[in-house]
Structure 1
Amino acid sequence: MKDQKKRISILGDSVSTFAGITPPEALFYDAWRQEETGVTSPDDTWWMQVIQGMGGILGVNNSYAGSTVSGGFMTSGTSEKRLRTLSAEGEPDMILVAMGANDWGFGVHPQEFEYEYRRMLQRMKRLYPRAEIWCATILRGKPVPEEEMFFNVDGVISPNIYSDIIRRIGTEEAVHLADVSGYHMEYETIDGVHPNREGMKMIACLWLKELQK
């Protein structure tokens, strides 16, 4: 009997969206953006490349553009309703968490982020006690010359502070860490934040390096 493929679900923000797969009310990679970025197929996304690289299958990708871990909204990473959707196609064997960039970009206080990130992981562990949970630190996108940055990066504190929180809380909550920011690499973008096709490849490569350690 062949080994059953791992069912892998995704919890993310705009970087992890794709039309026809993620919630339609909060897309970044719609048809127009797909043409602009060259990310025209799910196979071009970082998360599908990771799933394929791990020999898995997609469970649910519940990624919302603009979503934060904090805030207490229905779209927040702590939202129990949102977390429950991760099993809509069956219990996930793995959950990849790519959240926190908007908390950084919107200037959420690090102390609040720390509290909410821990709460998100605790809820996730309670809902999915058998799942392997992987949390990514925050990668920086490469600025595009003469293009306006999506975030005012000069007006917010360093993303390293949020990545340090993810490292610490991940360790304390005994989940797995995908320390993608530890490589100190910037991925190709269209606006300093959202990856193009090449940027997606780099993100996937860094994730796979961490998952296959």
Structure 2
Amino acid sequence: MAEKRLFSILGDSISTFEGCNPEGFRVFYEGERQEATGVLAPQDTWWAQVVGALDGELLANGSYSGSMVEGAGFPAGNSAERIAALARDGRAPDAVLVFIGINDYGWGGADAQAVGRGSAMPVCLDAAALGEEREPGLAPADAADRFGAAYEAMLARMRVAYPRAEIWCCTLCPGRVVGRDGSTFAYRLRGVHLDAYNDAIRGAATRQGCRVADVRALGCDYEGLEGTHPTARGMRQFAALVLRAMEAERTAGAPTVLAESIAEAATLPAAAFDALPSAETCKEPSCIGCPHAGATGSQWLLACNKGGE
């Protein structure tokens, strides 16, 4: 019997779960938040469902709650420590699933995260030297370009560390506040559209020879507790979207060692999903100062109340 392929996960809070991440890494899905979301066990997470559907085995989950890709050092996704966390007990992954970047979008850049004293700001920074704490505002015009450069640097580090691993990059996907009938995602939170970040992910992945699981291209929302962190239903929806996006990449001709597993997973009941179509209901240039915005300060929410009321 052939050995199962080993998968590692690199992500943010959406991909954490109590007891599944390295010691000292911040975790979102623990305690009361498990009860609030209904994500009660590792098998309820999107990544466990995808790995299981692909007949794989989890090697390591190097996700860190609140982390961005861009940053001066750990826990930024492009730091050496985060890449090292994808290996375990001297073993390297056969495949890596990457789903990170929503905090880059939410903060609008590493500088804003630092001066806003984000919970996952790089540990190498001296908070006292940063001056007075300030809430984030509009993102700089080149925010998505900076994100793309950091994302590509992260992938380059990964390729050097794990040259035999196949890397799959998931694009960022809008969430929908639980209980709402319409889309609630804030597409221009700080003035730079979500899809500029997704274009950056696609470009970085292509240049680094990685695969893209383009969940955003499927045009669906997943259910989120506050519009960002998936509920148990949202986890099932997102897992199905990832599998469908991987199948789309395979059928488009992208070479992949997972081809057989992806094709088989596409026929499983788990590949069916009840995610609802996304809709961009607000055309304001940003959410800053908008009465429909959920929150735009340091405790930002990716929620627009204009279309989801």
Give the alignment's TM-score, normalised by structure 2.
Answer: 0.65
Distance 2:50 2:84 in 1: 22
Q: CA RMSD for the aligned pairs? A: 1.6
Could you tell me whether the CA contact under 8 Å between 1:105 and 1:153 is conserved in 2? no
1:155: Cα distance to partner? 3.2
1:153: Cα distance to partner? 5.7
1:198-213 pair list within 5 angstroms? 198-212=233-247, 213=250
Distance 1:93 1:49 in 2: 17
Percentage identity across paired residues of the two chains = 41
The residue number in structure 1 matching 2:173 is 139
The residue number in structure 2 matching 1:74 is 74
The residue number in structure 2 matching 1:22 is 21
The residue number in structure 1 matching 2:229 is 194
Deviates more, 1:24-33 or 1:166-175: 24-33
User: What does the per-residue CA deviation read over 1:58-115, in whole Å, with 9 as the maximum and x for residues that have no partner?
Assistant: 0100111110000122111111122112111421000000011110111121121111
Answer 1 or 2: which has greater helix percent.
1
Greater relative contact order (CA < 8 Å, ≥ 6 in sequence): 1
Q: Secondary structure at the match of 1:86?
A: coil
The residue number in structure 1 matching 2:126 is none
The residue number in structure 2 matching 1:65 is 65
Could you tell me whether the CA contact under 8 Å between 1:105 and 1:152 is conserved in 2? no
Distance 1:26 1:184 in 2: 30
- Asked whether 1:96 is paired with 2:136, we answer no
Number of residues of Structure 1 aligned to a counterpart in Structure 2: 208
The residue number in structure 2 matching 1:8 is 7
Letter in 2 for 1:186: D
> Where does the alignment leave 5 or more consecutive residues of structure 2 unmatched?
110-142, 251-309
> Where does the alignment leave 5 or more consecutive residues of structure 1 unmatched?
none
The residue number in structure 1 matching 2:298 is none
1:154: Cα distance to partner? 5.1
1:35-54 pair list within 5 angstroms? 35-54=35-54
Letter in 2 for 1:99: I
1:202: Cα distance to partner? 0.7
Asked which structure has the greater CA Rg, the reply is 2
The residue number in structure 1 matching 2:272 is none
The residue number in structure 1 matching 2:130 is none
Could you tell me whether the CA contact under 8 Å between 2:9 and 2:62 is conserved in 1? yes
- Asked whether 1:85 is paired with 2:120, we answer no
Q: 1:48 to 1:94 in 2, by over 3 A?
A: same
Distance 1:153 1:26 in 2: 26
